[in-house]
Structure 1
Amino acid sequence: MTKKIVGNWNFPTSVRFGPGRISELADACKATGMKKPLLITDEGLKDLPMVRDAIAANEAAGLPTGLFAGVKGNPTGKNVEDGLAVYRAGGHDGVIAFGGGSGLDAAKAVALMAGQTRPMWDFEDIGDWWTRADPAGIAPIVAVPTTSGTGSEVGRASVITKEDTHEKKIIFHPKMLPAIVISDPELTIGLPPHVTAATGVDAFVHCFEAHCAPGYHPMADGVALEGMRLIADALPRAYDDGKDIEARADMLSAASMGATAFQKGLGGVHALAHPIGAIFDTHHGLTNAILLPYVMRANRRAIEGNCETICRLLGLAAPGFDTLFEWVLAFRTRLGIVNTLAEIGVDVNRAEEVATKAKGDPSDGGSPIELSVADYAEIFRRACVGELG
């Protein structure tokens, strides 16, 4: 027997999905035992009606709700510390993680740290470090995603930038998984096309890297495939018409599916995107979208079969690597995704630093081919200057 047939699976999240479901926020908070939640989001959302309305609805339901919005696009340890200070000073007893991946990740980290005495970095996703946390000190979480990208609403980890070392760290604990998710596609209607595109391709990359990751996990593979099918159909529609509620719904579903699937593993795209984001403060989804074909090329010999399967699913003629590669390039162009890292302010001269950090990133372990520091440096260089050949 040559096929590996052993794996560990977990799909436990309770999701309330559909237009208008944000009206159930207060009920969801009460179901987790919250009496005075803190809504945590990013700076760009704090003044929008969706946030004001959510807080007002909670207040009307007898749930006084605080607000913390000091979260950057790439959340930092300082963002988490500041949010934790507000949480503790306000006597809050639960967290509403509201927004895109940055807001959700920061909020989940605040919830983890609510009752801890050790520094957050002691809970990095290394071995059994998560067992250092006091589970009784983790606050309950209700998640409300407003973008269709990271899928953090169904994840047990947060990606937080450690500013002194310019590294993105994955902070993990099983109880960081939100107890309830409210996925209301109406909250994503206002996303501008460029954000819709970048976050949507991020979700595609999650599905693609999960499907190509080594190991036996047919449940994750199936979820990843359906996620890619949904994205291929729905993302161009949502990009063209932000009010297409069915396309928005499919994208919101696909984002959660990508994050569910990548418990199987990620790979070189994310291994590179994490240090690039930490060093250059680039948008995570856009960084992934740019990197994807360059990493595909490096992994070609190990992913031919995956590419054939994906091509057949997408109805592409002549299934194989070349066909899917060309489709990815055309898909990115259709969505206005730029072709090089240089176009988003990334300096090719930092190749060795980025490559070294990429090799040390947890996502490296999911690469279908073992990539060396030199390999990562070459991929990075090519992605900076646009060498796809």
Structure 2
Amino acid sequence: MTYSQYTMNWNYPTAVRAGVGRISELADACQSLGMKAPLLVTDPGLASLPMVTNAIVACVEAGLDCRLFSNIKGNPTGENVNDGVVAFREGKHDGVIAFGGGSGLDAAKAIAFMSGQTADLWSFEDVGDNWSKAIESGIAPIVAVPTTSGTGSEVGRASVITDDANHVKKIIFHPKMLPEVVILDPVLTQGLPAKITAATGMDALSHNLEAYCSPFYHPMAEGIAIEGIRLVKEYLPQAVANGDNLDARMQMLVSSSMGATAFQRGLGGMHALAHPLGALYDAHHGLLNAILMPYVLKANQDVIAEKLSRLALYIGLEGSFDAFLQWVLDLREQLGIPHTLAAIGIDEEKAELVGRMATEDPSAGGNPISFTDAQYSQLFKNAVQGVL
């Protein structure tokens, strides 16, 4: 098979260079934005791998003063961002290469955003018009290179950062946080373990699915979400079964970017619960969404049944809510996703706190039903116990 059909550029929602081997254009992408000294930000797990070393060497050989920052947790914290800003300023960098999965991309975008700000990070939490207080000229340009197919952070205008002091995840938003160039190269995702491929792929599904179920009016986002879900159905099992399948890997990268583009329409209960659980238990975000998915769908059934019936037909299922829900359950089992939160070490002890944090999470505003603290607490308990 040839991959030339996937080698192309497009400009929605930003400039995207897609295709096998496009990582070779990293230095050119940086130079196109005027960078001379980019800071490559990634997580510790990737920092020592050849893909990162090769990227830095290629940039240096092209005349760029490229250096590495990788002091980032799996759920990046405000301290990680602050440390990155110190590295950016001390190294006299003029741009950021956001390289990696969701943690690396989110931290990198926040570092680029904060590199020229005078206020503290939490001043720009996505509440009201906080974003308008930023110094736009102080936001460094970003080239984003995802190595997982899940968060879609490469096409997002926000970062999710953990406030360790208060044990809560906060969304930092500004339109200029959107990377100006994205490189989607499936070769970079080949070495991803099957379990991480599954969890991140289910994260992409959750983004597309919650965007599709959102009650807000955004027909373009709805259309993108529908196709993003179809790509997950067709290609995620293939990517998990054979990590060297570049066709499946490419399509999952696209589905991930589509999900993050679509959720301009809103997210929902999966993320409203996953965000506090990630902050409280430091659990993998994609895995949390994957486990929570059927419980949240079931809780929203009265409102979303007709929409999911239409969606089921589009992706080749019987046209009913039950058929779609069963597909989700079957897909999770096929991919080795646990059925309960208990299976990953989460119990009911903090149910009341989780319920309260869920209603306060910005994602709750996009859920088809406005659940109360108590309803979110019960949803959480259902997911711990495995009660659908």
Q: TM-score range by the shorter chain?
A: over 0.9
Instruction: Provide the C-alpha distance between the structure 1 equivalents of 2:344 and 2:112, rounded to a whole number of angstroms.
Output: 32
Instruction: Provide the C-alpha distance between the structure 2 equivalents of 1:273 and 1:207, rounded to a whole number of angstroms.
Output: 16
Task: Please list the CA deviations of residues 129-167 of structure 1 after superposition, one character each: whole Å capped at 9, or x if unmatched.
Answer: 001110000000000000000000000000000001110
Task: Please list the CA deviations of residues 354-381 of structure 1 after superposition, one character each: whole Å capped at 9, or x if unmatched.
Answer: 1101100000000001111011000000
Please tell me whether residue 34 in structure 1 is matched to residue 39 in structure 2.
no
Aligned to 1:244: 245
Alignment of 1:313-324 (within 5 A): 313-317=314-318, 319-324=319-324
Aligned to 2:303: 302
Query: Is the partner of 2:47 in helix, strand or coil?
Result: coil
Please tell me whether residue 91 in structure 1 is matched to residue 98 in structure 2.
no
State the TM-score, normalizing by the size of structure 1: 0.96
Alignment of 1:4-43 (within 5 A): 11-43=12-44
Query: Is the partner of 1:161 in helix, strand or coil?
Result: strand
Please tell me whether residue 154 in structure 1 is matched to residue 155 in structure 2.
yes
Instruction: Provide the C-alpha distance between the structure 1 equivalents of 2:32 and 2:112, rounded to a whole number of angstroms.
Output: 17
Instruction: Provide the C-alpha distance between the structure 2 equivalents of 1:140 and 1:347, rounded to a whole number of angstroms.
Output: 42
Query: Is the partner of 1:235 in helix, strand or coil?
Result: helix
Aligned to 2:282: 281
Instruction: Provide the C-alpha distance between the structure 2 equivalents of 1:88 and 1:305, rounded to a whole number of angstroms.
Output: 53
How much is the aligned-residue C-alpha RMSD, in angstroms? 0.8
Please tell me whether residue 203 in structure 1 is matched to residue 204 in structure 2.
yes
Tell me which amino acid in the other structure corresponds to 1:177.
Answer: L
Query: Is the partner of 1:304 in helix, strand or coil?
Result: helix
Aligned to 1:325: 325
Unaligned runs of 5+ in 2: 1-10
Query: Is the partner of 2:265 in helix, strand or coil?
Result: coil
Per the TM alignment, residue 352 of structure 1 is displaced from its structure 2 partner at its CA by 0.6
Aligned to 2:358: 358
Aligned to 2:235: 234
Instruction: Provide the C-alpha distance between the structure 2 equivalents of 1:366 and 1:281, rounded to a whole number of angstroms.
Output: 24
Query: Is the partner of 2:350 in helix, strand or coil?
Result: helix
State the TM-score, normalizing by the size of structure 2: 0.97
Tell me which amino acid in the other structure corresponds to 1:224.
Answer: A
Once the two structures are overlaid, the 10-residue window that deviates more, 342-351 or 378-387, is 342-351
Identity %: 60
Aligned to 1:4: none
Pair 190,343 (structure 1): closer, same or farther in 2 beyond 3 Å? same
Per the TM alignment, residue 25 of structure 1 is displaced from its structure 2 partner at its CA by 0.3
Runs of 4+ in 1 over 6 A off after TM superposition: none
Tell me which amino acid in the other structure corresponds to 1:352.
Answer: E
Instruction: Provide the C-alpha distance between the structure 2 equivalents of 1:340 and 1:84, rounded to a whole number of angstroms.
Output: 38
Residue 13 of structure 2 contacts residue 261 of structure 2 at CA under 8 Å; is this kept in 1?
Answer: no
Query: Is the partner of 2:44 in helix, strand or coil?
Result: coil
Query: Is the partner of 1:274 in helix, strand or coil?
Result: helix
Per the TM alignment, residue 12 of structure 1 is displaced from its structure 2 partner at its CA by 3.0
Aligned to 1:184: 185
Instruction: Provide the C-alpha distance between the structure 1 equivalents of 2:61 and 2:310, rounded to a whole number of angstroms.
Output: 51
Per the TM alignment, residue 216 of structure 1 is displaced from its structure 2 partner at its CA by 1.4
